A and B are shown apart, each in its own frame.
Chain A
Amino acid sequence: MKFLAQNLNIFTITQLILMILILIIPPIIFLLVNKQTIKNTKVAIVVSLSSILSAVVYLISAVVTQRVFGDINDGLLSTAFALVVAFNWLNLIHLLLKSFDELKQKSPDLDHITRTHFSKTLDLGIILMICGFTFIPFVPIGLAKVFIIVISSSLITIALNHLLARRFICDEN
């Protein structure tokens, strides 16, 4: 914890603990909701892994970006983390809402949820990349580092998420 706090300039251990809680709580909520409604273990695993993965990838990309491009302005590093968490949470919320919609149908098809959701996730990933790379030439290097962290963390999470889901679908087929 101390190593992470020093390396990321995030300062206090309390803040790091808070960050970890932020990342653990949504998958727990999702697992509980899933247990009551969708009852699809595979979807739940993908979602839970996605949340934890986003944090791990964020930490790695933040440390690597700082090592390669130098320190990032204090305060904006936690902004980058908040954005990675926000993109991931929104993705989970999207999946939850679409799952509920599907369950309302007469003959719900869980694979349909997984397929449409991950096509949307892939869209988000591509848009993040397009948007980030069109912004980077027009912003100062300090801000570009923030974009690099957000894009790389979100993209890797989305890519892993997507691969995992595809694997599940292929297995079933």
Chain B
Amino acid sequence: MKTKRISFKKIGDYLFTTIVTAAIISSVFIAIPRADKALGLGDYNLVTKDSQYWKKTYTLEIQLPENDKDQKTLKIEQTKNILQRRLDRFGVEVVKIQNGSKPRTQDAGTETTESENIIKEYIQITVQTTKDQNAVEALIYNRNYIRIVVPKDDIDFNDPDNPLATYDINNYEKTEFTRHDFRTIYIKELDTTSGGRAYFAIYKSWPHTASSFKKFLSNYAGRTIGIASDGFVTQYTVPIEFDQSYIESLERSNNRSSTSPEFAPAVSQDAESAKVADILYNSGVIPEPYSVANIEDSTPYIYQVDYEQVAIALIAGTVAILIFSAARKEQKKEENIRLALTVVALFTLWISTLKLAGIPTDLFIIIIEGFVLLSLIKVNLHSDDIRLSFSAAALFGIIYLLSSGYTRILSKDLIFLTLGAWIITTVIGQYFTKMKDIILK
């Protein structure tokens, strides 16, 4: 009796084509608008960001010394640049910063008093974003000019009648060390002495200030100093490890040089506050103090697009590209079918992922992404040449690093989508060959 040998390759091929067919069909059903309700499969619509947007305009009043007239434009430009950088780094979608004028509310009132030695200039910042309002306002309100201070000798910080004494900058003497003396302030999550985890700000000095700062810390080892920022002081006890004589005795007993300790006050316990602190510390030093003169609420301007429109636009674009591709005489029929399958698989898998994962999206960004992908898919992405897909992904990576706001969101998505396009092109290529074999046999 003859026994048939099992062909594992054949089984593998059947399995592969079945899985790919199932994935494409199910993703088409998930991606189609209103399919969830029509099929009674529960609610898995696209989550849009529309309701999360808020918009405000802040007018900042910068106080410039009158004898500094020549530097006025430069300082205003620096302030605008630093504020822009802060908001960009936080991922605020729309930021518009321009020179402003004295708010009307201040003309009638007596909120500001003109001083002969001070020139007041105004900057208007308009933000429209889905980001946390408190965090965004912390980035706008705080100049965050860091200065190391030391307590005045005659101040009693334990006085029960003055519980805020530790925070008051008038109770401290200024030192020479400011933010300018530090190359960077590195935020890192570390273990605390109590066994928990917290974010610490590690101050990295410039080479020319490192020795004097080390000497200063050595003098204050075991004692309290303060870190002043915008008139508010946070106390910090300098660890004994900073004492130079202590370090030397340690080195003598161990007979080797010890690693120098880091000046690292605690910043926060939650990641969001640590991110804000990182941006405030490392986006540049705003040259002059300022205050918020006016805040105005307004309705966010969002492109009202519904998902049905997005779907119709994508389908129309796909059909148009396929007609163009079919009309090209040199294009093979098989190539066109492969292209059609790739486009359908790419778009439906992408939308299905967004729907099922509940990732909040801007629908108008999806339309732009669809436009870019459809434009590139035939010439660049739908190719066996892996270099083209990776070049596109690398290019969007560069744009992501250089851009901000919507461009940043778009380029981030396009990095994944171009790489996804390559994976899907490869899988569909295999699928098409195997399907052809199975059907023709």
Contact = CB atoms under 8 A, between A and B. Distances in A.
A11 B367 contact: no
A22 B364 contact: no
Contacts of A79: 368, 405-407, 410
A89 B80 CA distance: 31
Given A75-B93, A97-B387, A127 B403 contact: no
B37 to A, nearest CB: 22
Nearest to A128: B375
Contact of A127 (B305, B313, B324): B324
Interface stretch (A27-35, A36-44, A62-70, A80-88): A80-88
Contacts of B402: 18, 22
A61 to B, nearest CB: 16
Contact of A12 (B84, B374, B391, B396): B84
B96 A74 contact: yes
A134 B387 CA distance: 29
Interface in A69-115: 73-76, 78-79, 82-83, 85-87, 89-90, 93-94, 97
Interface of A is mostly: helix
A74 B96 CA distance: 7
Most buried by B among A18, A85, A130: A130
Interface stretch (B18-26, B245-253, B377-385): B377-385
A12 B77 CA distance: 8
Contacts of A139: 303, 305, 309, 313, 364, 367
B94 A75 contact: yes
Interface string B304-343: 1100011011001101110010000000000000000000
B372 interface: yes
Nearest to B311: A138
A12 B214 CA distance: 39
B312 A138 contact: yes
A60 interface: no
Interface string A1-34: 0000000010111100010001000000000000
B317 A134 contact: yes
A78 B403 contact: yes
A58 B267 CA distance: 45
A169 interface: no
Contacts of A130: 317, 320-321, 324
B395 interface: yes
Interface residues of B, number: 54
Contact of B388 (A13, A93, A138): A93
A61 B245 CA distance: 69
Contacts, number: 131
A45 B284 CA distance: 40
A146 interface: yes
Contacts of B303: 73, 139-140, 142-143
B84 A75 contact: no
B321 A131 contact: yes
B318 to A, nearest CB: 9
Contacts of B433: none
Given A73-B94, A97-B388, A140-B304, A127 B379 contact: yes
A102 to B, nearest CB: 14
B97 interface: yes
B371 interface: yes
B354 to A, nearest CB: 19
Contacts of A89: 395
Interface string A108-142: 00000000000010011011101110110011101
A83 B378 CA distance: 17
B399 interface: yes
B130 to A, nearest CB: 13
B48 interface: no
B17 interface: no
A18 B364 CA distance: 26
A83 B375 CA distance: 11
Contact of B80 (A12, A120, A140): A12
Contacts of A75: 93-95, 405-407
Given A12-B81, A14-B81, A142-B303, A135 B94 contact: no
B411 A127 contact: no
Contacts of B406: 75-76, 78-79
Given A86-B396, A97-B387, A74 B94 contact: yes
B309 to A, nearest CB: 5
B271 interface: no
Closest 4 CB pairs of A and B: A138-B313, A75-B94, A75-B405, A93-B391
Interface of B: 77, 80-81, 84, 93-98, 126, 128, 301, 303-305, 309-310, 312-313, 316-317, 319-321, 324, 364, 367-368, 370-372, 374-376, 378-380, 385, 387-388, 391-392, 395-396, 399, 402-407, 410-411
Given A89-B395, A138-B310, 17 more contacts: A9-B96, A11-B80, A12-B84, A13-B77, A14-B81, A75-B406, A78-B404, A78-B407, A82-B399, A90-B395, A97-B391, A124-B379, A127-B374, A127-B378, A140-B303, A143-B368, A147-B371
18 contacts: A12-B77, A12-B81, A12-B84, A14-B81, A73-B303, A74-B126, A76-B406, A78-B403, A78-B406, A79-B368, A79-B407, A127-B375, A128-B375, A131-B317, A134-B320, A139-B303, A139-B313, A139-B367
